[in-house]
Amino acid sequence: MERGAPGDTARAWRTGKEAMLPPHSAPGSDADWLALEAEVCSHGDTVHYARQPRFFARSHGSYLYDNRDTPYLDLQMWYSAVNLGYGNERVNAAVARQLGTLPQLAPQYLHYERVELAARLVDGTRRAFGAAGRVHFDVGGSQAVEDALKLVRLRTGRQRVYAFEGGYHGRTLGASAITSAYRYREPFGEFGDRAEFVPFPYCFRCPYGKRRETCELYCVAQIERKFEHPYTGAWSSRTGRSEFAAFVVEPVQGTGGYVVPPPGYFERLARLCREHGMLLVDDEVQMGFYRTGRLWALEHFDAQPDVVAFGKALTNGLNPLSGIWAREELIGPDAFPPGTTHSTFAANPLGTAAGLEVMKIFEERDYALAVERKGSYLLELLRDLARAHPEIGDVDGLGLALRLEICQADGYTPNQELADAMFQRGLAGDLRIGGRELGLVLDIGGYYKNVITLAPSLDIADEDLELARDLLDLVLIECKQSDR
């Protein structure tokens, strides 16, 4: 059957005629595809956060391209899943080789890439934290968090955990229970095992009204206070046993708005956990794999985790693969026996082949130095931008995880409307700079949904960092003018 244009496909479907989807390069109207999408696709994901959802036809490096071949500079890189850029030749070639040899294998059998990838992750984590451990693979980031929670319950015999306000750990049932936003749980009834949430050290909007320069880490002192005597309800002085099994943390909050904690915070929190028998679970799903300039973001903060959950950038976005690393005494064969947790697609060969090549790339080049340099340069560009726009209330970041907090003209009151307008404007794909027509892919996070979170490719060129500054400047100018 001859394949038709997108408009033909959509119209044929709605009139009951048999049709085949066209190749991606076929001409046609996105309006016809959007009409079809409106009839056949769920709106339960995040596509329709955009008022006019955008179709993309190809990608390369730091750019996505629509069907007119308009380039969109991507400053979120699939929620930090594509750290090495779209179409990385080495990672693509590794997947192609695996596709020609052993593309599929049930997880109860071994293949070489699985073992070598685990060995490299174990070695990298040992160098990061000085601890022996093992890796257990799964499929997605939420599933890795679920596995971490299972391990915590299995090894401690307790269910309650601490987590942070503003934290995001996924939308499966267990991960939602330790994600602080009630809106993710509200439609689904009571969550009996919900975490106990405490404020994150969000210095720009300190929940205690303190100043970073003089607070002496008041926020962590409030957690320590819960363990000073038995009447705070967190532990028993008679048995030395804590009611809480673990503290689940993001070293830098992701969806919460790329909030970076002050020095010394996690050092004290980790010590508190050790002294009271709580495991420290480090969620690195979004910040791992050199997003902050280290293999794991927690390396910046002089704290040693008991469990690390990872995913996203492990395969550069080419295949769903995630996992947990845990200390040997927690995850050794006697502690975590066969069948403790399982997924049909865990440790799949295409994913482990991609992940192995990603780890080799990281090991062959000094990404710590490269990310620190690029991140410092982009942070400097963003601070220049903030000086021109009082609506940018806070600029901060670690490595290439950076934030622009969008406010009213007072530089503090959250301005969700302006942040959303910037997101929508970038997707229009008709920004003009230097005679070029471009688009801009942004992501919105933060407690008030007013933070532009920036996670560009770790290999982004300096000229694209400068272009990012110029595009953000243009989008801000246009959105502020249209608001008047």
pLDDT tens digits for range 272-329: 999 999 999 999 999 999 999 999 999 999 999 999 999 999 999 999 999 999 999 9
Are 150 and 237 in a shared domain?
A: yes
Say yes or no to pLDDT of 27 above 60: no
| Residues 329, 384 share a domain | no
Judgement on whether residues 436 and 340 belong to the same structural domain of the protein? no
Q: What angle do CA 347, 353, 356 make, to 5 degrees?
A: 95
- For 41-111, where are the alpha helices, taking DSSP H only? 77-80, 89-99
Considering the domain architecture, whether residues 356 and 374 belong to the same structural domain is answered as no
What are the C-alpha distances in Å from 391 to residues 248, 312, 414, 418, 471? 33, 32, 9, 9, 16
Does 81 map to a domain? no
434 closest CA partner among 407, 463, 408: 463
Which letter, b or e, does each residue of 20-32 get, where b requires 16 or more Cβ atoms within 10 Å of its Cβ? eebeeebebebeb
- The residue out of 364, 381, 416 marking a domain boundary is 364
pLDDT tens figures, 219-266: 999 999 999 988 887 889 888 889 999 999 999 999 999 999 999 999
Q: Is residue 26 part of a domain?
A: no
Query: Are 374 and 460 contacting, i.e. CB atoms less than 8 angstroms apart?
Result: yes
* Last residue of one domain, picked from the residues 364, 392, 425: 364
Give residues with Cβ within 8 angstroms of 301, minimum separation 6. Answer: 251, 261, 263, 265, 266, 267
Q: Return the pLDDT at 24.
A: 47
Does 413 reside within a domain? yes
Same structural domain, 149 and 291: yes
Number of domains, the chain: 2
pLDDT at 17 over 60: no
Question: Using CB atoms within 10 A of its CB, is residue 252 exposed (0-12), middle (13-18) or buried (19+)?
Answer: buried
How many C-beta neighbours within 10 Å does residue 383 have?
12
Pairing state of beta strands 58-60 and 436-441? unpaired
Q: Phi and psi (nearest 5°) for 37?
A: -60, -40
Confidence of residue 2 (pLDDT cuts 50, 70, 90): very low
**Are 161 and 210 in a shared domain?**
yes
Q: Give the range of the structural domain holding residue 211, as residue numbers without chain letter.
A: 93-364
| 254 and 124 inside one domain | yes
Average pLDDT, the chain: 93
From CA 440, how far away is CA 468, in angstroms rounded? 8
Q: Give yes or no: residues 277 and 260 share one domain.
A: yes
- Domain boundary pick from 364, 391, 422: 364
Please check whether residues 61 and 115 belong to one and the same domain.
no
- Is the entire prediction scored with pTM above 0.85? yes
**pLDDT > 70? residue 412:** yes
CATH of the domain at 449: 3.90.1150.10
For 33, the token pair is: 């595809």
Question: Where residue 9 falls among pLDDT bands split at 50, 70, 90?
Answer: low
Residue 85 is assigned to a structural domain of this protein: no
- The CATH number of the domain holding residue 359 is 3.40.640.10
